[in-house]
Amino acid sequence: MPTARRGCPGAWLLGCALFGLGGSSVRADDDVHLSVTNTSSVEYRTDNLNSNDADDNYGAIFDRMNIQGGAGPVDATARIDGFGFLWPPDDGYVSQIRLERAALRYKLGDFTLEVGDFYEQFGRGFVLSIRKQQEAGVDISIFGAKASYRSQAHTVTLFAGRANTANTDAISRRFVADKRDLLAGGLYQLTATPRLKTGVYGLYNQPEERLIDESLDFTVNGGAYIDASTLADWFGVYLEVAAQERSLAGDFQPGSALYLQTETRVWDFTLFTEGMLLNQFEQKGSRNTALGSRFNYNRPPTLERIDQEVLNNRNTVGGRVRLEYFYLPLNLLIYGNVMLRLNDYLDPAQVVQFHGFGGMSMQYNGGASRIAIASGYRHEQQPAQPIPIKTIVHLDVDYLQALGWDFALHLVTQTWFRTLEGRRYLFGSTFLGIERAGLGGLTFELGYDTFDPSPDVRNVFYALILNAEINRHFTFRGTAGTQRGGIKCIAGVCREFPAFSGVQAQLISRF
């Protein structure tokens, strides 16, 4: 296992171009500009009692420097990642400094040419969705070239490149090997009126890894959408269809996708409906060496809440209905949501998923305080089986009370009473914090996951989180204790946190 990598030569070449562009001038001088966002982190992880010794008792130093600069019509970005591990449990943790992202962008009127790392999504992401997904801990770009033309009426995008994953997994901290999966495609969108957009797209995906050496694996995709989300002041509709042909080990497998969404507004009520069919539809790349699973290059809608676990979003049919009442003077929202999905719907072992929930949110004290409460029930079952695979009764509360002098008390709880194949357990987190605008916040976090009662598995998690805005350039974050993994919002910032046991100090600087 190599211990140091420095990225591909092309990326370093682009990085050098960026520094050359900035040169010695780092401040506003005519059109030349350069800005830096740097995140430095030092941490030590103790045994998180998850029955896995391979993520315990090691230290780590991370640094991520984002550099953005430009001059006139040329704009450039680069990201340098540095990782150093002390006492790593195994060879999966690799100390390295790497130019992880580099891009040059040239704009001439309605035309843009990009070389290096870029992101792209077609429609609602059925065929392709490669975008920054910090909240999901996913970090993939396309390294290649993209040309686009955007006018009021027409958008044309053409690109080709290789998938470029960040080489240290954000969650597990493990090394991820580069896989040179080929992605090439294009999109044309016609904006006939501001209320009606239509688009067509196509994509070719060829993973570097093959199922068998003798045969090339690839996927050819095409799709179209009609976006009339503001067709009328009271009504909107969005429709997307896509088809794909996958060649795996010489066998051809067709796939298809259909998605329809409507929104109807009457007085202060909004009725939202969504229906989706995914028939063996997926966009897989090579294997992620940190996770063992294959990279996903699409990300279709799920019909689910954003914090919901979605096990199968490739062969499913379902829909959801959501009714909302919104009263503007109070920013009061009352809603109910019902979702039904059938996973592997043509299989006798299909899984029926039902989720009904409702809640309210409002702001008061002139917008300084807020409260949001939601609760619901989820049920997943194979019809032929006597007991459900999973049930969840959930309670979610987000309560922020302004106390005066810019202080606020903040209570957040996401608590799930769950069963998994008949076994009952409690899962979730509760945060209680005090925040002050312009200064930061101190939060106590209590996490719980009682699924595995084994003595060597942690069921209760405690952590203290300090967030301090030192000045306009520097922010400090410190965490000590143990944390359950998942999406969490702390001191006003929402993002994905890994499961954690130990101490971490982070300094964010912006210039």
Partner 1 sequence: MRNIRRFLPALAALSLCAVALFAGTSDAKKSTRAKVTNFSGTDLSGHRVTLGGLEGKVVVVNFWATWCAPCLQELPFLQRFYDKYKDDGLVVLAVSTDGPETASRVRTVVKQRKFTMPVIHDVSGELLSQLNPRGNNPYTLFIDRHGQKAFAHEGYSSGDEKKYLKVIKALLHEK
Nearest to partner 1 of 197, 284 (CB atom): 197
Nearest to partner 1 of 261, 288 (CB atom): 261
Residue 270: Cβ within 10 Å count: 17
Nearest to partner 1 of 80, 458 (CB atom): 80
Min dist. Cβ of residue 148 to partner 1 (A): 10
Nearest to partner 1 of 328, 384 (CB atom): 328
Residue 94: Cβ within 10 Å count: 22
Q: What torsion, rounded to 10 degrees, do the Cα atoms 299, 303, 305, 310 define?
A: -60
Tell me which DSSP letter residue 207 carries. -
CA-CA distance, 71 to 303, in Å (whole number)? 43
- Residue 52: which residues within 8 A CB-CB, separation 6 or more? none
Min dist. Cβ of residue 435 to partner 1 (A): 4
Nearest to partner 1 of 87, 377 (CB atom): 87
Side chain identity at 66, as an amino acid letter? Answer: N
Side chain identity at 91, as an amino acid letter? Answer: D
Which residues are bridge partners to 143 per DSSP? 117, 162
Dig out the tokens for 426 from the structure. 């409690």
Nearest to partner 1 of 112, 381 (CB atom): 112
CA-CA distance, 475 to 440, in Å (whole number)? 9
Min dist. Cβ of residue 218 to partner 1 (A): 23
Min dist. Cβ of residue 216 to partner 1 (A): 28
- Backbone phi, then psi, for 53, in 5-degree steps? -80, -10
Min dist. Cβ of residue 224 to partner 1 (A): 16
Residue 306: Cβ within 10 Å count: 9
- Residue 289: which residues within 8 A CB-CB, separation 6 or more? 174, 175, 176, 177
Of the candidates 334, 311, 308, the residue with the CA atom closest to the CA atom of residue 322: 334
Nearest to partner 1 of 216, 330 (CB atom): 330
Nearest to partner 1 of 301, 426 (CB atom): 301
Min dist. Cβ of residue 80 to partner 1 (A): 6
CA-CA distance, 334 to 361, in Å (whole number)? 7
- What's the half-sphere exposure (Cβ side, CA atoms, 13 Å) at 45? 26
H/E element, 14: helix 9-22
CA angle 8/207/159 to nearest 5° reads: 65
Nearest to partner 1 of 160, 508 (CB atom): 508
CA-CA distance, 372 to 398, in Å (whole number)? 5
Q: Alpha carbon of 13 to those of 37, 89, 162, 231, 234: distances in Å?
A: 21, 34, 17, 47, 52
Nearest to partner 1 of 274, 380 (CB atom): 274
Min dist. Cβ of residue 69 to partner 1 (A): 8
* Token pair 């340098």 in the structure block, residue: 80
Nearest to partner 1 of 211, 330 (CB atom): 330
Whether the CB-CB separation of 339 and 352 falls below 8 Å is answered with no
- Backbone phi, then psi, for 352, in 5-degree steps? -95, 125
Min dist. Cβ of residue 450 to partner 1 (A): 27
Min dist. Cβ of residue 322 to partner 1 (A): 9
Min dist. Cβ of residue 448 to partner 1 (A): 21
Min dist. Cβ of residue 215 to partner 1 (A): 31
- Cβ neighbourhood burial of 174 (10 Å; 0-12, 13-18, 19+): buried
